[in-house]
């Protein structure tokens, strides 16, 4: 088992995990009933998924080429720093402009599935 | 083997961008659309990371940084516009 196979396995697992997190957050955005819960799904899960993907790319170039890319690390750090701040600002703007909060999400699902 | 998993990852990422696009089209309020646009920007960063591995180049690392900065600035500008109606305040305090 040489370094090439190890890098392929690690990169494949990290990237598939990250993309699955992105897909889960997208379906959370389509299924949740509220701006705040949608932002909860989108911000956390997409940030973690993209961090996993970029870290997989970083490890791929490190193991395969022996090149530590500082710019990729800077991108990882910047996404990790700014995505939750953007989610916080959007949630505060929605609260200031009186977007309504769904109090009990389970009742909304029951009502929607009954009407369908 | 890595090629196949990278192609699957690209397909999954484009599916998640498409689902966010559905939320942009039918979101009831403006905040929904801004959240979905921010998510699309962050997902695009992941797509560029996958394309970097597919093409085996490091030339797109600056693209990741620029898209991250532009998505953040656009999101906070839109949030400030929704909140107060103006982006740049005129008074000092």
Q: Is it the case that residue A1 has pLDDT exceeding 90?
A: no
Question: Given a cut of 70, is residue B6 above it in pLDDT?
Answer: yes
In a domain, residue B4? The reply is yes
- Structural domain contains residue B72: yes
pLDDT for residue B27 is more than 60: yes
Whether the full predicted model's pTM is greater than 0.95, yes or no, is no
pLDDT 10s digits, A98-113: 887 877 766 666 555 5
Does residue B59 form part of some domain? yes
Q: Searching chain A, which residue's CA lies closest to the CA of residue B20?
A: A26
Residues of B in contact with A72 (CB under 8 A): 49, 58, 61, 64
pLDDT tens, residue by residue, A28-82: 988 888 889 899 988 999 999 999 999 999 999 998 888 888 999 999 999 999 9
Domain total for chain B?
A: 1
B93: pLDDT strictly greater than 80: no
Domain extent at residue B2: 1-12+32-84
Q: How far is CA B88 from CA A46, A82, A83, A91, B76, in A?
A: 29, 20, 22, 20, 12
The span from the CA of A38 to the CA of A35, in Å, is 5
């Amino acid at each position: 088992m040489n370094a090439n196979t190890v890098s392929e396995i690690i990169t494949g697992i990290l990237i598939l995990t990250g993309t699955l997190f992105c897909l889960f957050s997208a379906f959370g955005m389509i299924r949740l009933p509220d701006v705040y819960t949608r932002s909860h799904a989108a911000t956390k899960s997409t940030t973690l998924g993209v961090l996993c993907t970029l870290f997989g790319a970083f490890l791929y170039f490190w193991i395969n080429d022996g090149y530590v890319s500082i710019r990729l690390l800077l991108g990882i750090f910047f996404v990790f720093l700014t995505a939750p701040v953007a989610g916080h600002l959007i949630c505060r703007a929605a609260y200031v402009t009186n977007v309504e909060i769904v109090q009990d999400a389970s009742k909304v699902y029951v009502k929607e599935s009954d009407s369908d | 083997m890595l090629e196949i998993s990278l192609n699957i990852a690209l397909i999954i990422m484009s599916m998640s961008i498409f689902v966010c696009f559905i939320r942009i089209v039918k979101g009831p309020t403006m905040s929904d659309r801004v959240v979905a646009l921010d998510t699309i920007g962050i997902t695009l960063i992941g797509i560029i990371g996958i394309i970097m591995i597919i093409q085996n180049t490091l030339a797109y690392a600056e693209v990741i940084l620029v898209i991250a900065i532009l998505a953040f600035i656009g999101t906070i500008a839109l949030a400030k516009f929704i909140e107060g109606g103006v982006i740049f305040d005129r008074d000092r305090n």
